[in-house]
Structure 1
């Protein structure tokens, strides 16, 4: 037990106190480098095309950092315009990690073409992406999702696990867009009218979507999402990949 001298004593003598000293509050220090910059992306594939799309709003909390921050990038192109690219990468979430990942993958694909004299295949690029993310598993590239498309669509988690899918949504409004894609693209909970009653209804068979139908679904998904989510908006970046090349278009969305 600690004895403290109290010089503000009673009377003229020395006063003593055997009270425990007050402990200083414990402070815990932590380092968290990530910021979710909002926005959403989605991908849809058809029999001879793949579509990647995303909004262009960049946020930080309730603040809008930029109204023109594209989230879909051409990979392996010949110059800054991306001419000659056959792979498209979409990133959403923490913008700094997304941009760094885009630059690294772009360099890898270009070096592959330089060394081997031919473009890197989509499946090979998908595996290389998985390796990059697995290398960062102890300090992961979080809040990022990406897809590559040349008639194929791949989705990833932060540590490199990936799978090929027909459609996928990610980002701030993914919980709003995913049910819409499940119903309209994967035909979940769709039944043939008049085929029965209750559980006897015949499920509607999924059919390949045409390009115009898929592009319409993308526009509808984002038009709906911006009505319900403040981190999505401004412009829609729509990138369509076919055997003839990559087409890119921007369309206005709500800005409030």
Structure 2
């Protein structure tokens, strides 16, 4: 004989499914483009969650060495933790070897750190960009568990679905016949990054407010602030 509703135990009257999800998606988008003698990296300055904007002035690009930078977006707590641990590892290397780690070595170190956390990964999308030993720009794209791909341009974050196809078309010339990709210059890279973020800000509420644009050359590093729409 089946039990009626009144006689069922408490745990059967109100069944619930419990979830454990410690991550938060705080938005943000990053783009990097490399040239023969430079690399340019930019991120938007909006830090949000859903329809709530926490900050309109939060950059997402971190300086690792004088020639290497990392852009991270996703769960902001994981972004800060990953950057803190990576900075500590770089400091330990500098103290032990009395030298600054090269861009290639930093790229491999980041891949190893992400893979080490593969069973409870950092909820972060990363791009690492810098200058190689010969002065040529390079971009490394990562997934959250450490898979690394060496590229000349990449986008990541909330608006990657809008920006990456634009870069593939304008820089890579993908799926186009009779088209030669243009030689990348600083002026062209800046214009493409600006246009990409303007387009993304029109369609994605997680990207907006402004862009912090960094240019790395053998002479040094420059920073530029570009405003976007704030609504």
Same fold (TM over 0.5): yes
Aligned to 2:54: 65
- Give me the whole-angstrom Cα distance separating, in 2, the residues matched to 1:36 and 1:207: 35
Separation in 1, partners of 2:125, 2:181: 29
Conservation of the 8 A alpha-carbon contact between 1:148 and 1:154: yes
Structure 2 SS opposite 1:112: helix
In the alignment, what sits opposite 2:134? none
Give 3-state SS (helix, strand or coil) of 1:209's partner.
coil
Does 1:40 find its partner at 2:29? yes
Taking the aligned partners of 2:229 and 2:182, their CA distance within structure 1 comes to 32
Stretches of 4+ moved more than 4 A in 1?
none
How many residues align? The count is: 222
The alignment partner of 2:57 has SS state of coil
* 2:111 alignment partner in structure 1: 130
* Unaligned ranges ≥5, structure 1: 3-17, 77-84, 192-202
Q: Which protein has greater RCO, CA pairs closer than 8 Å, 6+ apart?
A: 2
1:157 has 2:143 as partner: yes
Deviations 1:21-73 (A, max 9, x none): 33323222221111110121111111111111110001111010100111001
Match of 1:104 among 85, 100, 107: 85
Residue in 2 that maps onto 1:179: 165
Aligned to 1:11: none
Whole-angstrom CA distance in 2 between matches of 1:148 and 1:19? 65
CA distance in 1, matches of 2:21, 2:70: 26
Does structure 1 residue 54 correspond to structure 2 residue 35? no
- What are the within-5 Å matches in structure 2 for residues 171-250 of structure 1? 171-191=157-177, 203-250=178-225
Q: CA deviation at 1:223?
A: 1.1
1:208 Cα shift? 2.7
Q: TM-score, normalised by structure 1?
A: 0.82
Residue 133 of structure 1, CA deviation = 0.6
Does residue 226 of structure 2 align to residue 251 of structure 1? Answer: yes
Distance 1:19 1:70 in 2: 59
For each residue in 1:129-172, what CA deviation from the matched residue of structure 2 results, as whole angstroms up to 9, or x when unmatched? 11111111111112322223221110000111101011111111
Which is further off, 18-27 or 50-59? 18-27
**Cα distance in structure 1, aligned partners of 2:125 and 2:23:** 11
Structure 1 match to 2:155: 169
* Structure having the larger proportion of residues in helix: 2
Question: Could you tell me the TM-score, scaled by structure 2's length?
Answer: 0.90
Answer with 1 or 2: which has the greater Rg: 1
Give the structure with the larger strand fraction. Answer: 2
Long gaps (5+) in structure 2: 132-136
User: 104-113 or 230-239, which moves further after superposition?
Assistant: 104-113
